[in-house]
């Protein structure tokens, strides 16, 4: 009886340590990664990619989140806000940049890439015009997979980061224009909009896109007369249906454009430029015809600008006067409302980061997620962006072909 008892005990001991299928399935579903939220060394960049509330969601899902000390300060998030939501706070750049996924808003610079351990996923804005060959070369040598915020698409084929930032830019541009038309900043003392018995201000918008739409909404809401120009009749028709008859529309007819600019109080440049070389829709001669004290805001200045007289200025010194016209051309307008912009970004990135953890590997995720694949400009150190290849004279490879080999 003792031998049988011992035998049963031995068998029980063997079976109790055998792996169970249901535990294996759970392990696959609950993968976790380390995520480094890096601060921005550029003083003009105030946004942070992930908010404290979103960090809590990532930590609750089993991920490790490492936040660089002061990363959220520009958006008025303290280190304590992050630590209370489960983040590890560190002043060690090496610790943050050694995470499985490193995410920051400003493009990576050459100094920051030195901290990367290699074979990681990095996410940030790319900004093709400002990216240096040295920085790109280091990212390639580190064999990282790099995702550009501005190229990520959602399930509907929309660029969610660009859409949300464009909404902010459109509304903010009108608030800025209103400020610089007033006497407070030495403007001509005109209220943006209109009141009873006073002729309303005139706003001209170049570009029937998201930024143009939200600039037009803000201007119409204040009572201004709005005229929008675009080279697409389809987009203009869509705008007319969205915003009603108070909006005037036109294709880029030179005579119509010149006439509108002569009486305009505000000019908003909202053209989405894809080419590396600037193509000016508004020439310097056209600016000379504008009224003294009118205001220009070029929202495409970070991609070269669509107005010949605009310059890419830092956020702390964005204003200058040329031909009697006030120019506001800061390259990073959403940082003026950094907290709102950070929340908008965080809402986009949380499901993406969790999908990375659940996928168990970037290759599988890129295979399944065409929208994220659209944002990849490096895959394991291999250049997959044709525009960057043309800029630096480097042969780029098709990402779809690379992934088909795995």
| pLDDT tens-digit series, residues 259-299 | 999 999 999 999 877 655 556 889 999 999 999 999 999 99
Higher pLDDT, 59 or 5: 59
CATH number of 30-158+337-404, picked from 2.40.50.140, 3.20.20.60, 3.40.50.720, 3.50.50.60:
3.40.50.720
pLDDT reading at 206 higher than 80 = yes
* Residue 30 banded pLDDT, cuts 50, 70, 90: low
Average pLDDT score, the chain:
89
Q: Where in the chain is the domain with CATH 3.40.50.720?
A: 30-158+337-404, 162-329
Instruction: Specify which residues 89 forms β-bridges with.
Output: 67
| pLDDT tens-digit series, residues 91-129 | 999 999 999 999 999 999 999 999 999 999 999 999 887
Q: Please state the rounded mean pLDDT for residues 177-205.
A: 91
How much is the pLDDT for 29? 46
How much is the pLDDT for 360? 74
How much is the pLDDT for 256? 95
How much is the pLDDT for 406? 64
Q: Burial-class residue 328 by CB neighbours within 10 Å (0-12, 13-18, 19+).
A: buried
pTM of the model: 0.87
Closest CA relative to residue 39, chosen from 378, 375, 338: 338
Q: Spell out the SS3 assignment of the chain.
A: CHHHHHHHHHHHHHHHCCCCHHHHHHHHHCCCCEEEECCCCCCCCCCCCCCHHHHHHHHHCCCEEEEECCCCHHHCCCHHHHHCCCCEEECCHHHHCCCCEEECCCCCCHHHHCCCCCCCEEEECCCCCCCCHHHHHHHHHCCCEEEEHHHCCCCCCCCHHHHHHHHHHHHHHHHHHHHHHCHHHCCCCCCCCCCCCCCCCEEEEECCCHHHHHHHHHHHHHCCEEEEECCCHHHHHHHHHHHCCCEEEECCCHHHHHHHHHHCCEEEECCCCCCCCCCCCECHHHHHCCCCCCEEEECCHHHCCCECCCCCECCCCCEEEECCEEEECECCHHHHHHHHHHHHHHHHHHHHHHHHHHHCCHHHHHHHCHHHHHHEEEECCEECCHHHHHHHCCCCCCHHHHHHCC
* Residue 361 banded pLDDT, cuts 50, 70, 90: confident
Lowest mean pLDDT among 86-100, 247-261, 348-362: 348-362
Closest CA relative to residue 113, chosen from 93, 89, 129: 93
* Architecture field, domain 162-329: 3-Layer(aba) Sandwich (3.40)
| pLDDT tens-digit series, residues 122-149 | 999 998 878 999 999 999 999 999 999 9
How much is the pLDDT for 19? 43
Share of the chain above pLDDT 90, in %: 73
How much is the pLDDT for 15? 42
| pLDDT tens-digit series, residues 325-347 | 999 998 889 999 999 999 999 99
Neighbours of 118 (CB within 10 A): 11
Q: Can you say how many angstroms the Cα of residue 49 is from the centroid of all Cα atoms in its chain?
A: 9
């Amino acid at each position: 009886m003792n031998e049988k008892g011992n035998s049963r005990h031995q068998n029980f001991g063997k079976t109790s340590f055998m792996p169970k299928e249901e535990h294996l399935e759970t392990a696959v579903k609950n993968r976790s990664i380390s995520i480094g939220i890096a601060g921005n060394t550029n003083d003009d960049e105030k946004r942070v990619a992930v908010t404290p509330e979103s960090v809590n969601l990532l930590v609750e899902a089993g991920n490790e989140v490492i936040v660089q000390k002061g990363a959220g300060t520009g958006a008025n998030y303290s280190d304590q806000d992050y630590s209370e939501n489960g983040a590890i706070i560190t002043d060690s750049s090496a610790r943050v940049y050694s995470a499985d996924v490193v995410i920051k808003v400003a493009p990576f610079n050459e100094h920051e890439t030195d901290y990367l351990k290699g074979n990681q996923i990095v996410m940030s804005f790319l900004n093709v015009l400002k990216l240096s060959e040295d920085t790109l070369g280091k990212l390639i040598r580190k064999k990282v997979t790099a995702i550009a915020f501005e190229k990520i698409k959602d399930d509907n084929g929309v660029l969610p980061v660009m859409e949300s930032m464009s909404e902010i830019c459109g509304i903010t541009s009108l608030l800025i224009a209103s400020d610089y038309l007033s006497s407070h900043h030495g403007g001509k003392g005109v209220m943006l909009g209109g009141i009873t018995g006073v002729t309303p201000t005139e706003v001209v918008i170049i570009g029937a896109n998201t930024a143009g739409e939200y600039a037009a909404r803000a201007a119409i809401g204040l009572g201004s007369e709005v005229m929008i120009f675009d080279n697409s009749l389809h987009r203009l028709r869509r705008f007319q249906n969205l915003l009603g008859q108070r909006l005037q529309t036109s294709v880029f007819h030179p005579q119509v454009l010149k006439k509108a600019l002569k009486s305009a109080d505000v000019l908003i440049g909202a053209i989405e430029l894809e080419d590396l070389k600037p193509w000016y829709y508004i020439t310097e001669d056209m600016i000379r015809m504008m009224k003294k004290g009118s205001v220009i805001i070029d929202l495409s200045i970070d991609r070269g600008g669509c107005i010949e007289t605009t310059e890419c200025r830092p956020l702390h010194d964005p204003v200058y006067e040329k031909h009697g016209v006030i120019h506001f051309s800061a390259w990073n307008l959403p940082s003026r409302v950094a907290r709102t912009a950070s929340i908008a970004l965080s809402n986009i990135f949380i499901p993406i980061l969790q999908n990375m953890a659940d996928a168990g590997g970037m290759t599988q995720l890129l295979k399944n997620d065409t929208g994220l694949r659209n944002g990849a400009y490096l895959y394991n150190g291999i250049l997959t962006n044709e525009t960057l290849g043309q800029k630096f004279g480097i042969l780029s490879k098709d990402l779809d072909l690379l992934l088909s080999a795995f």
